[in-house]
Amino acid sequence: MIPENKQENKIPQEKQLKQKKILQLRNITKIYPGTVALQNVNLEILQGEVHGIIGKNGAGKSTLVGIISGIITPSGGELEIGGRKLAQLSRLDAKRESIAIVPQEPQVICDFTVAENLFLGDYPHRGLLVNWAQMYRRTEDILKQTKLNINAWAKAGELTISEQQLMLLVKACYVEEADIIILDEASASLSQDDEKIYYSIIEEQQRIGKTIILISHRTDEILKVCNRVTIIRDGCTVKTVSCTELDKQKFSALIVGDESDKDRQKTTSWTSVDPESETILRLNELTRLGYFENITLTLKKGEVVGLAGLRGSGRTELFKSIVGIDPVDAGMVEIAGRKGLLGTPSQALERGVVYLPEDREKEGLVAVLSVRENMVLNSLKQISTVSIIDKNRENEQVSRLINTFEIITASPEQEVNQLSGGNKQKVVVSKISAVGPLVYLLDEPTRGIDIAAKDSILKN
């Protein structure tokens, strides 16, 4: 939920014009083999503003963020920061210039505590030794100040994705005390309660003069939170404009170009389900102690059932128990009239049940494999003869999936980790759909993706 009063907190435009430029990018270009990710991108960030960057999946937002944060080396162009002109920024340069990034996919050390993750690289010392007492005391003070209700001693791996994301935001703002904070789709996985904390932190950081670069697919978020926004399309900057000059309709037109959001919506039609249709999935008092209890649910063939709940309500845990990733303490699962709990994900796959995890990076993809290899992981039996993969069938399937889901990739052999977030999500969805399942269990299937990509996923 985006606070309605955020518009009032924006810096007035006449005041913005007097602000000094804290970061400039001139003619930034990035070329990958077979792909021009960015072409002559120009960007100007003013001190103390919240500057939005928006564009379709594959537009080049993540590449741009990687260049600003020192993760990616540009192929051409120039950056200017702190009065210095540079051909590129290294990670060390970015840290020296007080730039911090909160990535879309939380990067934490799961076996470390919250405090250890917060102060990783910045541990307080007493002489040559880490001052653990001071570190935990400061962590508890920061968590209390930001109203983030997590335990400083808890393992980061025990936190939800939403909590991990807020932890990284807190690290950037209150431990590293960065002057330029890059939020790369950082709100995409947040619960409603955590969003309130997220926006209050942004408001506080802007109030004390910090600069926020906010990457988002949500036009309402950009319009209410940002002072100015830069639109990127096909690797090029389209326009930088004050958010006070935009409404949602103008904004969408700038993002998609010649495409019409209204036209896209017309392509997706939803049909009603016959009450007499076959029951394809039935849960009867399914229970996993400490997570969910006595869940009873019926899903008919062709039906879409929404599952909603707050953070920690057990939504993700329920899905994982249905497909055999996590255990079940009581209850029954029935699939197409056949009763019996699913002991493993492979058994679920054989019974026609597929699961799209919330965390695509850790659970949905094998980062070092190609787009093609990821796409066929679930359907090796369908494209094989006597345990030998039929290359023609494999190529036909991969080509069909790329076209169906409109996946932007240099080639099927491109490493999946090089794709944009939205295209990674499409690869995961295409992988589970390739087997022609009876039941899809989709956990946040459109998290962190743009309007066009959402439509592509939902209509398929």
Would you list the DSSP string of 94-146? Answer: HHHTTEEEE-SS----TTSBHHHHHTTT---EETTEE-HHHHHHHHHHHHHHH
Residue 91 Cα distances to 46, 70, 88, 388, angstroms: 22, 4, 10, 45
What domains can be seen in the chain, in order of their start residue? 21-108+159-256 (3.40.50.300), 275-351 (3.40.50.300), 359-459 (3.40.50.300)
Q: Which contiguous run of DSSP H or E holds residue 43?
A: strand 35-46
Tell me the Cα Rg of the chain.
23
Q: What sign does the CA torsion over 223, 227, 228, 233 have?
A: negative
Q: Which of 412, 425, 333, 438 is nearest to 58 (CA)?
A: 425
| Rounded-to-integer distance, Cα 128 and Cα 405, Å | 55
Q: Residue 403, Cβ neighbours under 10 Å: how many?
A: 9
Q: What sign does the CA torsion over 89, 94, 97, 102 have?
A: positive
Q: Which contiguous run of DSSP H or E holds residue 326?
A: none
Half-sphere exposure of 111 (CA within 13 A, CB side): 0
| Rounded-to-integer distance, Cα 359 and Cα 368, Å | 16
Instruction: Write the DSSP assignment of 308-349 as a string of letters.
Output: ---TTSSHHHHHHHHTTSS--SEEEEEETTEE----SHHHHH
Residue owning tokens 């459109």? 446
| Rounded-to-integer distance, Cα 300 and Cα 281, Å | 7
Q: What is the DSSP letter of 415?
A: B
Beta carbons within 8 Å of 423's beta carbon, 6+ residues apart:
57, 58, 407, 408, 409, 453
pLDDT at 134: 96
Contact 21, 45 (CB under 8 A): yes
Q: Residue 328, Cβ neighbours under 10 Å: how many?
A: 20
| Strand, coil or helix: 191 | coil
Q: Residue 12, Cβ neighbours under 10 Å: how many?
A: 9
Contact 399, 409 (CB under 8 A): no
User: What values do phi and psi take at 228, rounded to 5?
Assistant: -135, 165
User: What values do phi and psi take at 117, rounded to 5?
Assistant: -70, -40
Q: pLDDT tens digits, the chain, 460 residues: what are they?
A: 555 544 444 444 434 445 788 999 999 999 877 678 899 999 999 999 999 999 887 788 888 989 999 989 999 999 998 788 888 888 888 888 999 999 888 889 999 999 999 999 889 998 889 999 999 999 999 999 999 999 999 999 999 888 999 999 999 999 999 999 999 988 887 888 899 999 999 999 999 999 999 998 888 899 989 999 999 988 898 989 999 888 878 887 888 775 544 444 444 555 677 777 889 999 999 999 988 999 999 999 989 898 887 667 888 899 999 999 999 999 999 999 999 989 899 999 999 999 999 888 888 999 899 999 999 999 999 999 888 999 999 999 999 999 998 898 889 999 998 887 778 889 999 999 999 999 999 998 877 666 666 666 666 5
| Rounded-to-integer distance, Cα 298 and Cα 104, Å | 34
Beta carbons within 8 Å of 207's beta carbon, 6+ residues apart:
9
pLDDT at 216: 86
| Rounded-to-integer distance, Cα 197 and Cα 186, Å | 12
Count of residues in the chain: 460
Q: Residue 350, Cβ neighbours under 10 Å: how many?
A: 12
Residue owning tokens 């400061």? 138
- Asked whether the whole model's pTM tops 0.85, one would answer no
